[in-house]
Structure 1
Amino acid sequence: MSKAGAKLKAVKKVVDKIQHGHLRTNIAAGLAAAGPPLGPMLGQRGINIAAFCKDFNERTKDIKEGIPLPCRAVVNPDRSYDISINKPPVIFFLKQAAGIQRAAMNPGNEVAGKVTLRHIYEIAAIKKEDPSLEIKSMEELCNMIIGVANSCGIKVVKDLDANEYGEFLAERKLIVEQQKKELQEKKEAKMLRTG
């Protein structure tokens, strides 16, 4: 092995020792558990699974259980970790504001729900607290959130009439049921072909 190759290998070992790895995942508030999918992710990085789950659940005990939280963990060479927990994803807030469970199957061709500009601004104010987004202006954040809304079939409007929107959601529920039925039929047909 050449001198350059040996030096490169030595530098790589030092770099590997400095930072063992990163973990980026969404974990439901208060529901971190050792089982899949979280347990294997932690095990691959050499993190004490029970300690991580206990730490995460303790730090999220004041948040409504089950809310998805983007979690970032940096694993140190001694197997300790630094964890940062961000606010829920933008799509979570959009679906909550629109009062829907799922986004559109064909964004651009169907409207899954509607939110107002006020909703967009309030979501931006919450997301502004995330470390990765705190450098963005409110205008940039609002435009980003509007883009996410458009990509999942949520229409942004100036204002909403509660009665009209209630009728819209009732009609939408029927459409969603029909889509679920069609998906189930496709799955069954596919299973018959492969079986």
Structure 2
Amino acid sequence: MAEVVEVLVPGGKATAGPPLGPALGPLGINVKAVVDEINKQTATFNGMQVPVKVVVDEKKAFTVTVGIPPTTALIKKEVKIEKGSPEPNMQIVGDLPIEAAVRIARMKQNDMLSYDLRNAVKEVVGTCVSMGVNVDGKRPKEALAAIDAGEYDKVLAE
């Protein structure tokens, strides 16, 4: 029976230490080979936490599946901030262009509950509320109202 290990690793910088090493060691596979493969596949997500799934079969062969980083990590990368605001309603730490919100929504759409791009973008904007990040120069709740009013229909249609 195949064994499955799911972990969050830093993009391009996974090591044989925790959480990977202790999870993979007992399975009897070459941990360094797995780490090298993970780092190769996650290099584009440098600086972000990336969900990774390693499946090890009975013959000790492994496959690595890389997921999309959490929405918060993608927003932080786009806005170029280290972390969200300690007081989201009082202190704004950045501004996310609506085009970036659409790009993030497209990346994450398969993992979201939304059925269409408009609602997926609204989920991304909703995440900005708790991070203290404005969207297109507006407070996130104002941006949500603008999306509902159709102000961004042209961007959403592209």
TM-score tier (shorter): 0.5 to 0.7
Matched residues, number: 138
1:104 aligns with 2:104: no
Q: Report the counterpart of residue 23 of structure 1 in structure 2.
A: 5
| 1:63-142 matched pairs, under 5 angstroms | 63=44, 65-128=46-109, 132-133=111-112, 136-142=115-121
Task: Report the alpha carbon displacement of residue 65 of structure 1 after superposing the two structures with TM.
Answer: 4.1
From 102, 107, 124, the equivalent of 1:145 is: 124
Would you say the 8 A contact 1:117–1:158 is kept in 2?
A: no
* Stretch of structure 1 that moved more, 102-111 or 73-82: 73-82
Would you say the 8 A contact 2:114–2:120 is kept in 1?
A: no
The TM-score normalised by the length of structure 1 is 0.57
From 1, 7, 14, the equivalent of 1:32 is: 14
Task: Report the alpha carbon displacement of residue 146 of structure 1 after superposing the two structures with TM.
Answer: 1.4
Aligned partners of 1:66 and 1:158: how far apart in 2?
26
Aligned partners of 2:116 and 2:26: how far apart in 1?
37
Task: Report the alpha carbon displacement of residue 52 of structure 1 after superposing the two structures with TM.
Answer: 0.6
Q: Which runs of 4+ in 1 moved over 4 A?
A: 44-47, 133-136
Task: Report the alpha carbon displacement of residue 44 of structure 1 after superposing the two structures with TM.
Answer: 4.8
Task: Report the alpha carbon displacement of residue 117 of structure 1 after superposing the two structures with TM.
Answer: 1.9
Unaligned segments of structure 1, at least 5 residues: 1-17, 160-195
Task: Report the alpha carbon displacement of residue 68 of structure 1 after superposing the two structures with TM.
Answer: 3.1
Q: Deviations over 1:85-135 (max 9, x none)?
A: 12333212211222322101133343222213222112222334xx54598
Aligned partners of 1:143 and 1:38: how far apart in 2?
34
Letter in 2 for 1:76: D
Would you say the 8 A contact 2:37–2:64 is kept in 1?
A: no
SS of residue paired to 1:122: helix
